[in-house]
Amino acid sequence: MSELRHECGIVAVYHWLGDEVSPLVPGGDPNSASRLVPRMLIDIQNRGQLAAGFTTFNQERNQLIDTHKEVGSVAEVFHLNRQEAYEKLMREYAGHAAIGHVRYATCGKDDRSYAQPFERHHIEKGKWFSFAFNGQLANYPELRDEILSRTEFHLARENDTEILMHSICLELKGDRHPGIVEMLRDLSQKFDGAYNIVFLNAVGDMFVARDPLGIRPLCWAKEGPLFAAASESVALSNLGFSAESIQSLPPGHVISIQNGEFQISRFAETPRPAHCFFEWIYFANVASTLDGRNVYLSRAALGKKLALRETVPLDSETIVVPVPDTAKAAAAAMAFELGLPCLEGLMRNRYVGRTFIEGKNRADKARTKYTPVPEVMRNKRVLLVEDTIVRSTTMRALIRQLKSRGGAREVHVRVACPPIVAPCFYGIDMSTVKELFAPRFMPDGRLTPEVEEAMARELGADSLKYLRIEDLAECVDKPPETLCQACVDGNYPTPAGTRLYQLAIENDRCGAESTGLERTYDVSATVRPAASACDSGNAEAAPSIPAVTGGEAKSR
């Protein structure tokens, strides 16, 4: 793969019908609540720029629920720069309840049929529904194979969203009319992975659910007759909800609105939360607060930890430069602790997408996206702060630019994240070992000064230092046992994730990823490499799974 893609983002709004109208709804009309969805999606556009869409409910039209979705940014899909077209769209899809989605493709093609929400028509109103989904099912191959084992079933798309749609349909099959909690309880026993869901049917019922581990964030607020939910709190605060009313939905819980009744219920037990730490250090909007912890404060804490590790000589010719934009908070905090200036030596072209998530040639895009400022960096010792290094393509290009175009005398890379050594199977599209930069330098799972020195030479940097794994939980202000840190320590919170990691290591050892198959899912679904090609001594030998530490390797 030449790119890394992030999971998606979801939103929901519901305005109760009646005499009272929320001041947050434009026009004083409950059926204008649907207009809030594009505004909310703009605020979580960082979570998905490939496609966007919404489904609205209006009991006064023939299309009780109706869906508009397309490939493109939120502004493109909803015509936000063309007022006449936007107004026409908002009138056509006006409703007092709506759900929305922004998408990156962790699996599946980049065309409109993969855009969400997914709507399923049915003559029975309770079975005519639409939903949107944030996350990824780690046991997707098994779920897919189970469905396809029945000759009367067919899947039209290669993604887990369709798996989820068929699973909901099966729950509603025939004369079954399970309650929302019962349906989600049954689904939770089948699903392994991350799955936040917003759901709306032609009766006007809505639910918002978070998976039992709470891997992906999900926030909600209710003031007066208006309820809203979103992947990140910033979408709710920018609508005008007070900070006191915005909360995170606990893992394994669902908010349901049926017959106008608002209820919060538990549908599954939570063995332990497994919040993705990556949300705080990279993915989420810096203004968001997730599960009680502000993103900006977390990133600032990362920078303070980096400052404690600093060993290069500090003088008047030393400056700190962040890689814009997600590393700015960490860089500023690091510079403050060290008593150094934090300067913008790299300027970002904001009309080029995030290279971490999109672009066919990331090195070319890095050169297009970032412009060094030689007046800032010429003859300086630069401490370049980055939020993470995944494949290293962008970092290599940046170091070359800082020296050749920016005139930096030295470039010392400081990474506000531990090394990424393992794939993600919960919504970030890095599902193979071979694509990652760090694992080949850390075969025994140890990060030592010698390893960092070897990595620096490979990158062309004068030095390299990573954040330590043990610092993550403290910076996020969460107990380590409540975080998913699988991509940095190889410890997966679900059985399917562990199985896929074992397969990913085996595929890397056997060279299976050179066949052109892009994801561990694909290898598991097609052909597994012969054991003899991997281990001539023992065909039954299982791949070893390294546990990653900052010092001595731990056995598992």
Just list the catalytic residues: 8
Instruction: List, in sequence order, the alpha helices (H) in 138-294.
Output: 140-148, 160-171, 180-188, 234-237, 278
**295-308 and 328-338 are packed helices; what angle lies between their axes, rounded to 10 degrees?**
40
For the CA atoms of 411, 416, 419, 421, the dihedral, rounded to the nearest 10 degrees, stands at -130
**Is 293:325 a contact under the CB 8 Å cutoff?**
no
Cβ–Cβ < 8 Å for 40, 46 = no
393 token code pair = 């393509």
Buried b / exposed e over 354-372, threshold 16 CB at 10 Å, is bbbbbbeebbebbbebbeb
List C-alpha distances in Å: 481 to 136, 146, 294, 543: 21, 33, 19, 25
Q: What is the Cα–Cα distance from 546 to 491, expressed in whole angstroms?
A: 9
- Give CA separation, 315 vs 379, 410, 415, in Å: 13, 13, 21
Among 258, 253, 267, residue whose Cα is nearest residue 218: 253
Retrieve residue 254's tokens.
């669902």
List, edge to edge, every strand of the sheet that includes 65-71: 65-71, 51-57, 97-103, 9-15, 226-230, 219-223, 247-248
Q: In terms of C-beta density within 10 A (0-12 exposed, 13-18 middle, 19 or more buried), how is residue 222 classed?
A: middle
Which DSSP symbol is given to 424? B
Give the rounded distance of the alpha carbon of 491 from its chain centre: 19
Q: Residue 516 burial by CB count (10 A; 0-12/13-18/19+): exposed, middle or buried?
A: exposed
Cα–Cα separations (whole angstroms), residue 272 to 215, 522, 552 = 10, 29, 27
Query: And the tokens for 245?
Result: 């009313």
Q: How far apart are CA 450 and CA 467, in angstroms?
A: 15
Q: Which amino acid is at 377?
A: M
- Cα dist. 194→161, 166, 190, 419, 480 in Å? 12, 17, 12, 23, 19
Helices 393-404/362-369 angle, 10° precision: 40
**Beta-bridge partner residues of 130:** 119, 200
